[in-house]
Chains A and B, each alone.
Chain A
Amino acid sequence: MNFRQTLTHGLWRDLPPFRLVLGLCPALAVTATAENGLGMGIAVTFVLIFSNMFISLLRKVIPDKVRIASYIVVIATLVVIVELAMKAFFFPLSQQLGIYIPLIVVNCIILGRAEAFASRNPVHLSMADGLSVGLGFSMSLTLVGSIREILGVGTWFGMAVFPDSFEPFGFMVQAPGAFLCLGLLLGLMNAWSRHRGEFFIQT
Chain B
Amino acid sequence: MDLLLLAIGSIFVNNILLAQYLGNCPFCGVSKKLGTAIGMGVAVIFVATLASIFTWVVYHYLLKPQGLEYLKTLVFILVIAALVQFVEIFIKKQSKGLYDSLGIFLPLITTNCAVMGIALLNIKHGFGFVQMIVFSASSAAGFAVAILLFASVRERLFISSVPTAMRGTAIALVTAGVMSLAFMGFAGMTN
Contact = CB atoms under 8 A, between A and B. Distances in A.
Interface of A: 21-25, 28-29, 68-69, 72-73, 76-77, 79-80, 83-84, 98-99, 102-103, 105-108, 111, 171, 174-180, 182-184, 186-188, 190-191, 194, 202-203
29 contacts: A21-B28, A24-B28, A28-B21, A29-B20, A72-B77, A80-B70, A80-B74, A98-B124, A102-B73, A102-B120, A103-B113, A105-B73, A106-B111, A108-B111, A176-B177, A177-B177, A178-B21, A179-B176, A179-B180, A183-B172, A183-B177, A184-B170, A187-B165, A187-B170, A194-B164, A194-B165, A202-B170, A203-B28, A203-B169
Interface in B18-35: 18-25, 27-29
- Chain A binding surface, main DSSP class: helix
Given A83-B70, A84-B70, A182 B116 contact: no
Interface residues of B, number: 49
Contact of B21 (A29, A69, A108): A29
B78 interface: yes
Interface string B113-128: 1001100110010000
Contacts of B172: 183
A108 B116 CA distance: 13
A28 B24 CA distance: 9
B81 A108 contact: no
B3 interface: no
Interface of B: 18-25, 27-29, 70-74, 76-78, 81, 110-113, 116-117, 120-121, 124, 163-178, 180-181, 183-184
A50 B19 CA distance: 31
Given A24-B25, A176-B180, A176-B181, A106 B112 contact: yes
Given A28-B24, A187-B170, A80 B180 contact: no
A197 to B, nearest CB: 13
Contacts of A21: 28, 169
Nearest to B74: A76
A182 B74 contact: no
Contacts of B174: 179-180, 183-184, 187
A25 B24 contact: yes
Given A176-B177, A183-B170, A183-B176, A190 B81 contact: no
Contacts of A80: 70-71, 73-74
Nearest to B112: A106
Given A102-B120, A174-B180, A190-B170, 12 more contacts: A24-B21, A24-B27, A25-B25, A69-B81, A76-B77, A176-B181, A178-B177, A179-B176, A180-B174, A183-B166, A190-B164, A190-B168
